[in-house]
C-alpha cells in the first residue's frame, strides 16, 4: 500500500507541472482569442446554458452544456451536450449528446479528469421534465437524482449513466445539484488521487422553511463509488451556500467558494476551507467581500505560470454587484488569502462560467454571454496569465 501511494503521488506531481500531458508554447500577453462554442436557436436547441470545461488527456478540451430544447428555463426537455476541441479551443467539433433525457431534465455537468487512469468522470443531476425546482424544494415532489458516467477515450464515447443517489443524497435533502463546473483530483497528502466534486442541496430550517447547503462528494476508487464528505447546512438565513467551486491549495487544504443564495448577509460570495482532504469544513462558510459579484455561479482554478514560480488562484464571475454583467477573472498570488485587481474579460451581459488549464500553458474560460442578455451563447476565450496583469488592454467589446 505504501508503494502504491508513493507511485500515485509521483504520477500526480509530474502531471501537475505539465497540464493535460502536452508541451507548453509561448504566447504574447496581449492575446485574447475567443470563439463561440454554443449558440441559442441552432443545432436543435432553444438555449444552451450551464457551461463546464476540462482538459482531457492529450490536450483534448471538453466543453459541456445543457441543451434546453423548448425554452431557456430550468425545467423541461434538457439534454447534456458536449463539444470537443483538438487545437486548444480555436475550433470545436460537432455537437454530441452525452445524456438524452427525452422529455426529462438531464443537467448540471460536473466533469473531473482522473490524472491517474486518464478517464473523464461526469456527474449530473436528473428529474422529470415537468418537475420544477419549487416543487422539489417544497417537498411536494421527490425527484432530484444523481448520476455518474465515464469516458475512456477523451470524450468520444460515454458509458451509460449510473444512478448513485442513495449514497450521496441524505433523506432530509430535497433539491440537489452537482457543481456545476469542473471537480478536482487531490495531488497532495495521504489521499492523493481522491476525486472531489462540489455540490449543493436544500433542506428545511427550524421554521420549516427552505434552507440551502453546500457539500463535497468524494471518491477514493477513481469514480466507482461516491460518498458525502464536508457539509455546511446552516439554517439562520444569513449565508445560504449554494453552487460552489473548489481547488486544492499548496498546503493541501481544499478551498471552496460558494454562491450566497438570497442570504441576509451583504454580498453574494462566501468561502470555506477543509484541512482533512474534504471530509469536513474547518468552519462554516464566511463572507468574502473582495469577490464582488451578483448572485450567480463562479469557478476556481489554480494557474501555474512556471514550475519554479508560485502559482496564482483564479476565480471567474460577473463583477457587477447586482446584475449578470462584466465577466471578470479575479487573481490571488497568496493562496486566496487576499485577492488582487480583477481583469474584465467581457463587458457585456454574462453569467455562469468555468476555467481550465490548457495544454499550451494558457488559461481557458468558457462562459455564458450575449448582447441583449447573458444566455444567447456560450463563448470560449483563451489567454496567458500575463494578460490578467495588463491594465492597458480593454475587455472584449460587444459584437
H-helix or E-strand spanning residue 9? helix 2-16
Average pLDDT of span 22-39 = 68
Q: Which three cell numbers stand for residue 266?
A: 451583504
At 94, is the pLDDT very low, low, confident or very high (cuts 50, 70, 90)?
Answer: very high
208's grid cell: 420549516
- Closest to 111 measured CA to CA, from 270, 252, 277, 245: 245
CA 89 vs CA 133, 154, 249, 381, 396: distances in Å = 34, 15, 27, 8, 17
DSSP state of 396: B
Encode 281-307: b = buried (16+ Cβ within 10 Å), e = exposed: beeebebbeebbbbbbbbbbbbbbeee
Cα–chain center distance at 384: 20
Most confident of the ranges 25-29, 135-139, 296-300: 296-300
> What pLDDT sits at residue 347?
93
Q: What is the pLDDT of residues 41-60, one digit of tens each?
A: 999 999 999 999 999 999 99
318-334, pLDDT tens digit by residue? 999 999 999 999 999 99
Residue 204: what pLDDT? Answer: 81
| Mean pLDDT score of the chain | 90
Distance, CA of 331 to CA of 333 (rounded, Å): 7
In the chain the domains, ranked by start, together with CATH numbers, are 2-389 (2.120.10.10)
Determine the Cα–Cα distance for residues 95 and 297; give it in Å rounded to an integer.
24
Query: By C-alpha distance, which of 315, 398, 320 is closest to 354?
Result: 315
Place 8 in a pLDDT band, splitting at 50, 70 and 90: low
C-alpha distances (whole Å) from 94 to each of 4, 84, 123, 301, 361 are 40, 8, 22, 27, 25
Confidence of residue 261 (pLDDT cuts 50, 70, 90): very high
Among 18-32, 142-156, 345-359, the least confident range: 18-32
CA-to-CA dists, residue 342 to 249, 290, 329, 353, angstroms = 20, 10, 6, 16
What percent of the chain lies above the pLDDT cut of 70? 88
Q: How far apart are CA 361 and CA 26, in angstroms?
A: 8
What is the per-residue pLDDT for 399? 61
State pLDDT tens for residues 270-300: 999 999 999 999 999 999 999 999 999 999 9
According to the model, what pLDDT value does residue 341 have?
78
Amino acid at each position: 500500500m505504501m508503494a502504491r501511494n508513493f507511485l500515485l503521488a509521483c504520477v500526480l506531481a509530474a502531471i501537475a507541472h505539465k497540464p493535460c500531458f502536452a508541451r507548453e508554447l509561448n504566447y504574447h500577453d496581449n492575446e485574447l482569442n475567443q470563439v463561440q462554442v454554443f449558440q441559442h436557436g441552432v443545432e436543435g436547441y432553444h438555449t444552451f446554458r450551464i457551461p463546464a470545461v476540462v482538459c482531457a488527456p492529450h490536450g483534448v478540451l471538453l466543453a459541456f452544456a445543457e441543451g434546453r430544447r423548448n425554452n431557456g428555463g430550468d425545467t423541461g426537455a434538457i439534454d447534456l451536450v458536449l463539444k470537443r476541441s483538438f487545437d486548444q479551443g480555436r475550433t470545436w467539433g460537432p455537437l454530441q449528446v452525452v445524456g438524452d433525457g427525452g422529455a426529462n431534465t438531464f443537467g448540471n455537468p460536473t466533469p473531473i479528469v482522473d490524472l491517474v487512469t486518464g478517464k473523464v468522470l461526469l456527474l449530473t443531476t436528473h428529474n422529470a421534465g415537468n418537475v420544477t425546482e419549487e416543487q422539489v424544494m417544497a417537498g411536494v415532489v421527490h425527484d432530484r437524482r444523481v448520476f455518474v458516467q465515464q469516458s475512456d477515450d477523451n470524450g468520444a464515447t460515454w458509458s451509460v449513466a449510473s444512478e448513485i443517489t442513495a449514497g450521496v443524497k441524505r433523506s432530509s435533502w430535497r433539491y440537489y445539484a452537482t457543481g456545476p463546473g469542473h471537480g478536482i483530483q487531490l495531488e497532495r497528502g495521504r489521499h492523493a488521487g481522491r476525486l472531489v466534486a462540489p455540490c449543493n442541496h436544500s433542506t428545511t430550517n427550524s421554521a420549516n422553511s427552505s434552507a440551502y447547503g453546500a457539500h463535497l462528494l468524494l471518491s477514493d476508487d477513481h469514480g466507482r463509488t461516491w460518498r458525502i464528505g464536508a457539509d455546511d447546512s446552516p439554517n439562520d438565513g444569513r449565508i445560504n451556500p449554494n453552487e460552489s467551486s473548489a481547488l486544492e491549495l499548496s498546503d493541501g487544504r481544499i478551498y471552496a467558494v460558494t454562491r450566497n443564495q438570497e442570504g441576509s448577509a451583504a454580498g453574494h460570495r462566501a468561502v470555506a476551507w477543509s484541512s482533512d482532504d474534504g471530509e469536513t469544513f474547518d468552519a462554516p462558510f464566511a463572507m468574502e467581500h473582495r469577490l464582488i459579484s451578483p448572485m450567480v455561479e463562479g469557478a476556481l482554478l489554480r494557474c501555474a505560470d512556471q514550475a519554479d514560480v508560485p502559482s496564482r488562484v483564479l476565480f471567474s464571475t460577473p463583477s457587477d454587484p447586482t446584475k449578470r454583467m462584466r465577466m471578470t477573472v479575479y487573481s490571488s498570488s497568496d493562496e486566496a488569502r487576499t485577492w488582487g485587481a480583477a481583469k474584465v474579460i467581457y463587458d457585456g451581459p454574462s453569467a455562469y462560467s468555468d476555467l481550465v488549464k490548457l495544454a499550451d500553458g494558457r488559461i481557458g474560460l468558457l462562459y455564458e454571454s450575449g448582447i441583449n442578455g447573458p444566455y444567447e451563447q456560450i463563448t470560449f476565450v483563451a489567454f496567458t496569465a500575463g494578460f490578467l496583469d495588463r491594465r492597458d488592454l480593454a475587455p472584449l467589446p460587444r459584437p
